[in-house]
Structure 1
Amino acid sequence: MKQSIPIWKKTGTTALVALMLTMPIAQAQSVAAPVSPATATYTMPTSMAAQSNTAQSNLAQAKAQEMIEALMANYGVTGAQYAIRDGGKLVLSGGTTLDDEGNKQQIEAGSMFGIGSISKMYVTAATMMLADEGKVDIDQPLTTYLPNFKMADERYKQITVRMLMNHSAGLYGSHYKNTILMDDNDTQNIDQLLNKLSKERLKSDPGEYSVYANDGFQLLELLVEQVSGMSYSEFLQQRVSEPLGLTATKTPLDTFDRSRLEPLRLPGLSNQLPTENANILGTGGVYSTAEELTSFSEVLIGKHPELLSSTSANAMLQPEYRNGVWVPETKNAFGYGLGWDSVDLEPFGDYGIRAATKGGDTIMYHSALISLPDHDISIALVSAGGSSVFNTTAATNILLQYLKQTGTITSISPEPTFEKPVQQKMPETMNQYAGLYATVGETRTIAIKDGKIEMPAMMSDLIPAQAYVYTGEQQFTSEDGRTILAFDKQTNGHTYVRIRSDLVFPGIGHARMAFYELQKLDKNPLDASVAKVWKQREGKSYYALDEKINSFFYISPSILTKTVKLDASGGYANGTQIVDADHAVNVAEIPVMNGRDAFDLDFSRQNGVEYLQADGRTYVSEDAVSKLSGGHHSVVTIPASGNARWFNVPDHAAGKQMTVKLPANAGFVVYDKDDTPLALSAATGANTAVLPKGGKVVFGGKAGDVLNIRLEKK
């Protein structure tokens, strides 16, 4: 599976966010160009190396080398590091990175990576440490510890601390604005979170079901600070890093040698990217190494009772996801505990082994941690480029090989095989499931014809577009035999499309996943005048104004663009239910994954310009995006609001070289007609770019900044 398509060509808003900061599943495919396979080099602890004189004892090391090579050759990884800890001892460690010339070389064990949502395990553990001290009761309302926490929905008073940790609080999901920045530790997001939440409602009853919600762990960060009296970074340093002797576990707010961070690279850019600061510490802001992650995993499975009691560690490992609405599947990559993505990760259950896992992704860094609590074994695999799902899949295969090597299991089961399904006669009752469905961000019409359903690609093309035929037992099977589609009428009154799939990642393995993909919708007839207003918005794009120009989100412009898409009946827009001419509200109440990061659409007008409020950002209509001046000299001024300014590239300016005199902290991004970023001044430091035909340019900076622009024939 050649992953030469960069992240911005593969990832939509829902897709990136589902990967990012869990980010439990690989929605952002690749952030770097694939590299040619080459022999990687690895380091091992001396004690392990001394025992590795036979082919048998080298099985795990060989498998690790095989996985790293595959990740770097085919999955956009530019640097990766792994470690296995067994019984408190480091038994395997190594990895590979690229130098500035693109050559592979041995990675340093102390090279640091952003670990994305594995950071959630730290804030969960921190909360449980306070519970051990009697300072927090996780079944008490959050307002007990954060009295300033309020929402425009009285149900917020029912949210407990536990619900934040098991993703069941009912929050919309994530506030990402200005969170992942280049060389910038701006804390505005966490500083403004309580104020933003005070104006929002819940999407479901607290405790009704679990669906990934990053904001819950930001609230836990605030709780830890409030109860402990320390900053969150100080708490981690004093209560985790110092006792464990960790020197690489840091946050963007800490002072440390940034040169230790694994370099970040993008195709087409010769220079390394600036440091990535994920300024959402509780959700995804921690840096670490593979070795230090496995050390911290000892805390999570109760091996350091002086830091976290075994009672609390065991509580974190309980199947919290079963307390609410959930897919009726026993083999799955998802199954939330407290903090954990899964507390019964497959395929380890097939071997009678309990496994817990947490994956994590920022924009550029990706990570996986798997712990076997009953065996005191853990593996971590961190990377620059790729995705957490790829890392988790590779780490699973390395760990299985280690378990075989040490005699814990006798053999490794072969990967499953699948056959083309045999269609059966479908009962007429199945036709009741045809109709309009939604997920966050979109609606789909499901038609059932002659016992067959045509489905588009799912999970960012990890499940390809194909036909599903009825195969009995109220199920439809995909053409390739790997995916089962069914319909569930759940206890909350909703009907869902349930997906069970065995995903194949050539060269690194496969993963079992079960989730609800879509939720059936009722008809939503509109008044003619309301329908007319929305019809005029159909297909229009709206561009984010309040994202800092040094944000990594500009690498993936689909995050910063909303394009209005109505369903065929016109009653829904981007998966939201239209309620009047200017407002549409989220209706997706989908457990597991696809109900995450929901948003409403709220339109307003000022001085004849239409604006959109969604997911905590302000967007401006494409109607207000003017053409960039094609003259030799022009000026762009950042308005008093500090908002970015978007421009279309006029045909007569295409092909010309733009040179911009930039004030400090100002910058620009140039996109081609397909929204691929061609120039990012904050990333490269360059102030010139060739303007593409049909492209766009966005300028940003501080209020009042004046950017002087010169255009010349190239």
Structure 2
Amino acid sequence: MKMWKRTGVALIAAVLFAAPMAEGAIQANQGSIVAKSEDGVTQADQGSEAKRLAEAEAQLMAQTLIDGYGASGVQYAIRSKGEIVLSGGIGVDAAGNKTPIGNNVMFAIGSVSKMYVTAATMMLADAGKVDIDSPLTNYIPDFTMADERYKQITPRMLMNHSAGFYGSHYRNSMLFADNDTENHDLLLQNLRSERLKSEPGEYSVYANDGFQLLEILVERVSGMSYTQFLAQSISAPLGLTSTKTPLDTFDRSQIYSVHVPGIDGALPVENANVLGTGGIYSTAEELTLFSEVLTGKQPDLLSEAAALAMQQPEYRNGVWVDGSSNVYGYGLGWDSVDLAPFDDYGIQAVTKGGNTILYHAAYIVLPEQEVSIAFLTAGGPSTFNTAAASNILLAYLKGSGEIKDIRPDKTFEAPVKKEMPDHFKAYSGLYRKVGSTLSLTVKDGEINLPAMKGGLIPEQTYVYIGDQVFMGEDGRTAISFDEQSNGKTYVRVQSVLEFPGFGQSALDHYELQKLDANTPDDSITQVWKKRDGKTYYAVNEKINSLFYFSPQVLSKMIQLDEGSGYANGTIIMENNKAMNIAEIPVMNGRDAFDLIFYKENGIEYLQSGGWTFISETAIMPIYNGSASTVTIPASGHARWFQIGEGAGGRSMTVEMPESSGFVVYDANGIPIQHSVASGSSSVILPAGGLIVFGGEAGDIFKIALKRK
């Protein structure tokens, strides 16, 4: 993948494609009076310069994402004091040509949808129908959990991520051209058997399930479906014509089409069937109009007091420390209410990011300046949207005179090692984050840690530099040990992340949690050792799910930490049960679940997070004769098969019901065919790979294998 560095040459090239106004030019209508600032610059000049700089930066960001990171479409808009001052977009068509994207083209906005359900809840609070600090059970009486603490959960805790939920139930939530409401309909049932991982209100850690519960709250209190509530209470008053959910009736061709390598034509429409947490489609311009609701500029919809309450630093109310700038600093709904680098300029910026499988969104609002930006993309990575939106917004603020200069990126030097006090050795031991554990050794003033944040923080050695801090070799990542008021010890990570082509972003959060010793009986240990290294595959996900493009979601490899009594970051309790123990505030403790095993007809299954997984030991080779059939059992479970040497390299064609489909993976777990996405029923089978067939109970697949 080509990676672009942000250089002055690239920036100049982008500016040349804009249409800069001649230096010193004056724009004024005949007979009008043009206001001037103290330095003689007219407001018209400032507005033109702001647009010029923002447009140049937006074009640069879009080109960088498309040319360097594989995005297939970018749409953006800035609104200032009620007016659109910048709007544009560029996409890549099926032939690879770059074409403009109209302002009415819709994108999935992922978790930016949380701002709508948060606003809806606060609107009901304005109307006196909801008290956000009363028990949630007042509004959803049938909400129960296998943990009596659930009775303490309030709507506020849902909005600031502090309810203590395990995280997110994703099963059958992301589907191609299918608005199945199963995920919504089964949420309360799924939660009944689950515990909380922390005291309600103890700390904020990202949890999608909370916003699904807010969706249910809005429905129960308003007496209408959530989709109807949005249409009547937000879209209609604001005149939003392109803000929809998958349950709305509208022309799906308005949604930006996504193309992926290896599949001819556009993919079917992606439906995020978790409406409250991530199910809305919209446009950049309509998102910026909605920002007027979130800043109290539409008091008939949402009061100024409610909007201000949403912007307060809720994350500081629980287990956390006031630290440096951060990308995570939850308000009500907002990911951050003091987003860097705007705080360096004395400007409050509130932000929300969003991702589905195919689309990504960044949304930044400056309440005091009455400025907002929406930056939407299709394809490519999600990592850079907020950084891109921040760069564009800073360019606009500079052009408008709101800030004088854009500060350069920070530079770093290698750390100077100092003598470490002996008491730090006591921090050696076993630590965990969601899904894994690691042994951490503090010795001779040094700590070795693996890569973090997907490699943005490299694997490196951290040396003691004094003031209770260890600094990485990169000079930009510091770690420290924090013994918190809840009795837990955490590894705190403070870093400045480098995004090639986009600049830097500050990060300050807890990465790891220290674990107590756990020594299960030897008989239990032996049972778990037999599972060590084995992979389990999901059987109850619909075959039209986009998660089949992410096999790591639909498979679990069991990994034991030798002699520790832990597996995949859970604590082993019994032969067939390991419990989540993640209590990591802010972001890194999200989406953690128990591991529950059981056997049926001699086959071992795993249940975790609402999914049922089958052991790899039960997956047999696909029949390598010229003709065979596969039938979906009465359970409706998907059927997985290995691709042995006899079938590898042969052409497979499948005759199947319209409701069915299959996905083929190569030996490295890379999907090479998704029949629902491609519309094709044929594929060359890769030796050593896997096939999964899915559909309705009783569906029959007629398989023909031919040599090439």
TM-score of the superposition, structure 2-length normalised?
Answer: 0.94
Is the Cα–Cα contact under 8 Å of residues 316 and 322 in structure 2 kept in the other structure?
no
- 1:613 and 2:607 equivalent? yes
Is the Cα–Cα contact under 8 Å of residues 600 and 614 in structure 1 kept in the other structure?
yes
2-structure distance, mates of 1:51, 1:638: 67
Is the Cα–Cα contact under 8 Å of residues 153 and 163 in structure 2 kept in the other structure?
yes
Partner of 1:165: 159
2-structure distance, mates of 1:89, 1:254: 28
Deviations 1:78-134 (A, max 9, x none): 100010000010000111101110111111111100000000000000000000100
Please give the residue correspondences for 1:142-157 in structure 2 after superposition, counting only pairs within 5 Å.
142-157=136-151
Deviations 1:154-182 (A, max 9, x none): 11100011000000001111000000000
- Aligned in 2, Cα 1:328/1:565: closer, same or farther, shift over 3 Å? farther
1-structure distance, mates of 2:427, 2:265: 52
- 1:580 and 2:577 equivalent? no
1-structure distance, mates of 2:151, 2:644: 53
2-structure distance, mates of 1:38, 1:353: 27
1:521 to 493, 507, 515: 515
Partner of 1:553: 547
Is the Cα–Cα contact under 8 Å of residues 14 and 60 in structure 2 kept in the other structure?
no
Write the letter of the residue equivalent to 1:189: N
The structural deviation recorded for 1:3 is: 6.3
Partner of 1:33: none
Deviations 1:362-392 (A, max 9, x none): 1110001000011110011000023444110
Write the letter of the residue equivalent to 1:349: D
The structural deviation recorded for 1:570 is: 4.1
Partner of 2:266: 272
2:403 to 401, 409, 424: 409
- 1:285 and 2:279 equivalent? yes
1:132 to 116, 121, 126: 126
1:679 to 673, 680, 690: 673
2-structure distance, mates of 1:456, 1:318: 35
Partner of 1:539: 533
Deviations 1:673-696 (A, max 9, x none): 110000000100000011101100
The structural deviation recorded for 1:75 is: 2.1
- 1:68 and 2:93 equivalent? no
2:432 to 433, 438, 462: 438
Is the Cα–Cα contact under 8 Å of residues 246 and 280 in structure 2 kept in the other structure?
yes
1-structure distance, mates of 2:18, 2:248: 30
1-structure distance, mates of 2:474, 2:425: 23
Deviations 1:49-87 (A, max 9, x none): x97997675111111111111111222211000100000
Is the Cα–Cα contact under 8 Å of residues 43 and 95 in structure 1 kept in the other structure?
no
- 1:349 and 2:350 equivalent? no
2-structure distance, mates of 1:99, 1:43: 26
Deviations 1:237-269 (A, max 9, x none): 111111111111000000111111111121222
- Aligned in 2, Cα 1:88/1:279: closer, same or farther, shift over 3 Å? same
Write the letter of the residue equivalent to 2:72: T
Partner of 1:219: 213
The structural deviation recorded for 1:430 is: 1.0
2:313 to 294, 319, 323: 319
2-structure distance, mates of 1:510, 1:272: 34
The structural deviation recorded for 1:497 is: 0.7
Please give the residue correspondences for 1:571-650 in structure 2 after superposition, counting only pairs within 5 Å.
571-650=565-644
2-structure distance, mates of 1:532, 1:505: 45
Partner of 2:561: 567
Is the Cα–Cα contact under 8 Å of residues 333 and 513 in structure 1 kept in the other structure?
yes
2-structure distance, mates of 1:364, 1:459: 20
**What is the SS of the residue equivalent to 2:478?**
strand
- Aligned in 2, Cα 1:434/1:83: closer, same or farther, shift over 3 Å? same
Write the letter of the residue equivalent to 2:604: E
- 1:459 and 2:453 equivalent? yes
Write the letter of the residue equivalent to 1:355: A
- 1:699 and 2:693 equivalent? yes
**What is the SS of the residue equivalent to 1:292?**
helix
Write the letter of the residue equivalent to 1:187: T
Is the Cα–Cα contact under 8 Å of residues 46 and 401 in structure 2 kept in the other structure?
no
Deviations 1:653-712 (A, max 9, x none): 110000000111100000011100000001000000111011000000000000000000
Is the Cα–Cα contact under 8 Å of residues 663 and 691 in structure 2 kept in the other structure?
yes
Partner of 1:198: 192
1-structure distance, mates of 2:505, 2:282: 26
The structural deviation recorded for 1:330 is: 3.0
2-structure distance, mates of 1:56, 1:629: 65
Q: RMSD in angstroms over aligned alpha carbons?
A: 2.1
2-structure distance, mates of 1:151, 1:687: 43
2-structure distance, mates of 1:223, 1:413: 44
Is the Cα–Cα contact under 8 Å of residues 18 and 56 in structure 2 kept in the other structure?
no
**What is the SS of the residue equivalent to 2:454?**
coil
2:706 to 689, 703, 712: 712
TM-score of the superposition, structure 1-length normalised?
Answer: 0.93
1-structure distance, mates of 2:214, 2:16: 40
Write the letter of the residue equivalent to 1:107: I
**What is the SS of the residue equivalent to 1:164?**
helix
Is the Cα–Cα contact under 8 Å of residues 50 and 400 in structure 2 kept in the other structure?
no
2-structure distance, mates of 1:353, 1:165: 24
Task: Give me the identity figure in percent.
Answer: 60
- Aligned in 2, Cα 1:57/1:202: closer, same or farther, shift over 3 Å? closer
Partner of 2:415: 421
